[in-house]
Chains A and B, each alone.
Chain A
Amino acid sequence: MHKIAEVEIQHDIMVANRKLAKKNQKILDKSNVFAVDVLGAIGSGKTSLIENLIQKLDYPVAVIAGDVISKFDAGRFEKYNVPVVGLNTGKECHLDAHLVEHAFHDMPLDEVDVLFIENVGNLICPVDFDLGAHMRMVVISVSEGDDTVEKHPLIFKEADLVVINKVDIADAVGADQDKMVADVLKLNPDVQVIKTSLKTGKGFKEIINALEKARNE
Chain B
Amino acid sequence: MHELSMADAIVKTVIEAAEKNDAIEVLEVTIEVGQMTLLNPEQIKFMVGVLSEDTILEGAKFHMEEVPIEIDCECGYKGKIGADDLDHYTPVLNCPECDERNFDIIAGRECNVKNIKIEKRDEDA
Contact = CB atoms under 8 A, between A and B. Distances in A.
Given A6-B117, A10-B114, A154 B2 contact: no
Given A91-B1, A129-B2, A12 B112 contact: yes
B73 interface: no
Contacts of A172: none
B99 to A, nearest CB: 13
A1 B27 contact: no
Interface string B7-33: 001100110011001011001000000
The DSSP consensus for interface residues of chain B is mixed
Interface of A is mostly: mixed
Contact of B125 (A1, A6, A152, A189): A1
A9 B1 contact: no
Contacts, number: 106
B20 to A, nearest CB: 8
A59 to B, nearest CB: 34
Interface residues of A, number: 33
B38 A9 contact: no
B91 A94 contact: no
Contact of A13 (B27, B90, B112): B112
Contacts of B38: 124-125, 127-128, 154
Interface string A1-19: 1111111111111111000
A153 B88 contact: yes
Contact of B113 (A5, A10, A129, A152): A10
A8 B115 contact: yes
Interface of B: 1-2, 4-6, 9-10, 13-14, 17-18, 21, 23-24, 27, 34, 37-39, 88-92, 101, 109-122, 125
7 contacts: A1-B125, A2-B120, A4-B120, A10-B113, A10-B115, A12-B112, A124-B38
